[in-house]
């Protein structure tokens, strides 16, 4: 049976960064839970899995231990979130990323799992993951907690277009579904929170022409910048998105953070710089390949790719001269 959705479906990318002060003997950790949902029965998505993989690689390159879920069901999302926030220690960094369909109704936002059957407003509440559950799963007992939520790229609802095309009009659609509003709603989050939207709340964002969504592409471009606070990083993201879309899409943020937050830690930056210098000193194909394998989306991956291509081109030219002496 064809699913009936309401007016706008959103492609949502959420990042949640959490510092909690809890009694624990283990050292602080940088952890990420990444979910990419794309294979929906109606209106499958192009970018979420590619975005999820790219974000996964980028976060690993700057010191995060990651867990990646692909095409997650409702139970998988619920269990993964609960497990992820169940054991936090002092100064843990917790990052939650979601790419896939989402919907706003009555001012609340819902992630849409794979196989969700949305026929009415009641179905939405039963079949989707309310973002309020994500907020509740985070420890909120200590004022030192920091949460960062990033919502990426709300698209027009293709399900409604298909239903309307077959029915001749949208009046046959459940009244509750027609309450769905454009874009996503502002999130009620605790103090010490940073919320970033791909565009203003209630507006629709662009999908982009490349292998990543417009917003995600610019986030990936800047997420590995050293010594860049999260506020400055998202200013760079906003500037890039606005320029690419001719100001049709203007990313938006709200912050109640207590201090500076950096994606790239000084320790990770120092380790990669040391590895990069060693690769430069060796200046071999093997050295650059090893560096790229260790830091596939690191601070110097573009330079490493250029150096590797130069060496491979030189080796190819050398073999050609040996094969055809005198030319």
Cα separation, 216 vs 186, in Å, equals: 19
Task: Clarify whether residues 40 and 167 are in a common domain.
Answer: yes
* Number of domains present in the structure of the chain: 2
Boundary (domain end) residue, out of 232, 261, 290: 261
3-class DSSP state of 307: helix
* 179 and 317, same domain (yes or no): no
CA 71 – CA 62 distance, rounded (Å): 25
Which helix (H) or strand (E) is 253 found in, with range?
strand 252-255
CATH label of the domain that carries residue 115: 3.40.50.1460
- 3 located within any domain: no
In order along its 327 residues, the chain shows pLDDT tens digits of: 444 444 445 555 544 443 333 334 566 778 888 999 889 887 788 888 998 999 899 888 888 889 999 999 999 999 999 998 887 766 777 888 988 888 888 888 888 899 988 766 667 778 899 988 988 887 655 556 677 777 876 665 555 554 444 444 555 455 555 566 667 888 877 777 788 888 888 787 776 778 898 888 999 999 988 888 989 999 999 999 999 999 999 999 988 888 788 888 777 788 888 999 999 999 999 999 999 888 876 778 889 999 999 999 888 888 777 766 665
CA 34, CA 56: separation in Å to the nearest integer?
Answer: 7
- Does one domain contain both 277 and 246? no
Kindly state whether residues 252 and 273 are assigned to the same domain: no
193 and 104, same domain (yes or no): yes
Residues 175 and 278 in one domain: no
Question: 127 and 204 in one domain?
Answer: yes
Q: Are residues 256 and 279 in the same domain?
A: no
Are 311 and 175 in a shared domain? no
Residue 196 lies in a domain: yes
Contact 32, 97 (CB under 8 A): yes
Structural domain span for residue 272: 267-323
Report field, pTM of the whole predicted structure over 0.85 = no
**Are 212 and 275 in a shared domain?**
no
């Amino acid at each position: 049976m064809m699913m009936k959705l309401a007016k706008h479906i959103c492609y949502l990318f959420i990042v949640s960064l959490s510092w909690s002060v809890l009694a624990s003997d283990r050292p602080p950790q940088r952890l990420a839970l990444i979910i990419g949902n794309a294979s929906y029965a109606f209106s499958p998505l192009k970018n979420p899995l590619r975005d999820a993989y790219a974000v996964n690689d980028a976060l690993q390159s700057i010191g995060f231990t990651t867990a990646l879920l692909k095409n997650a069901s409702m139970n998988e999302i619920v269990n993964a979130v609960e497990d992820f926030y169940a054991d936090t220690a002092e100064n843990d960094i917790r990052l939650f990323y979601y790419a896939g369909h989402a919907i706003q109704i009555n001012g609340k936002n819902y992630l849409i799992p794979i196989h969700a059957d949305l026929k009415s407003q009641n179905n939405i509440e039963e079949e989707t993951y309310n973002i309020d559950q994500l907020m509740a799963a985070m420890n909120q007992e200590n004022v030192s907690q920091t949460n960062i939520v990033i919502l990426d790229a709300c698209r027009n609802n293709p399900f409604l277009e298909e239903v309307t095309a077959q029915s001749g009009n949208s009046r046959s659609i459940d009244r509750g579904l027609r309450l769905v509003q454009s874009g996503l709603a502002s999130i009620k989050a605790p103090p010490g929170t940073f919320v970033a939207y791909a565009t203003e709340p209630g507006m629709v964002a662009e999908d982009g022409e490349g292998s990543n969504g417009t917003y995600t592409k610019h986030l990936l471009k800047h997420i590995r910048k050293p010594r860049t606070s999260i506020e400055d990083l998202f200013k760079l993201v906003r500037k890039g998105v606005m320029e690419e879309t001719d100001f049709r899409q203007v990313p938006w943020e709200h912050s109640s953070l207590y201090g500076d937050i950096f994606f790239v830690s000084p320790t990770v930056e120092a380790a990669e710089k040391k590895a990069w210098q060693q690769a430069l000193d060796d200046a071999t194909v093997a050295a650059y390949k090893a560096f790229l394998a260790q830091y596939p989306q690191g601070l110097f991956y573009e330079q490493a790719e250029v150096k590797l291509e130069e060496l491979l081109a030189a080796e190819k030219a050398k073999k050609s001269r040996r094969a055809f002496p005198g030319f």
